[in-house]
Amino acid sequence: FEADFNTRHVFWVVKDRNMVRKIDSAFDGIDHLYVADGHHRS
């Protein structure tokens, strides 16, 4: 969808199990993760 100022947001569905494992393992070394969605909340 497009937000204000022509900002385009895209969601990707990853169904390939090998790719999901790769993405999952990329986060293995991260102890804490903070998601900032660009709004006034956390």
CA distance 38 to 42: 9
Residue 6 region by backbone torsions, left for phi larger than 0, else alpha for psi between -120 and 50, else beta: left
Taking the whole predicted model, whether its pTM rises above 0.75 is answered as: no
16-32 confidence digits (pLDDT tens): 999 999 999 999 999 99
Q: What is the pLDDT of residue 32?
A: 92
| Domain boundaries along the sequence of the chain | 1-42
Give kind and range of the element (H or E) at residue 24: helix 17-26
Pairwise CA distance, residues 11 & 36, whole Å:
16
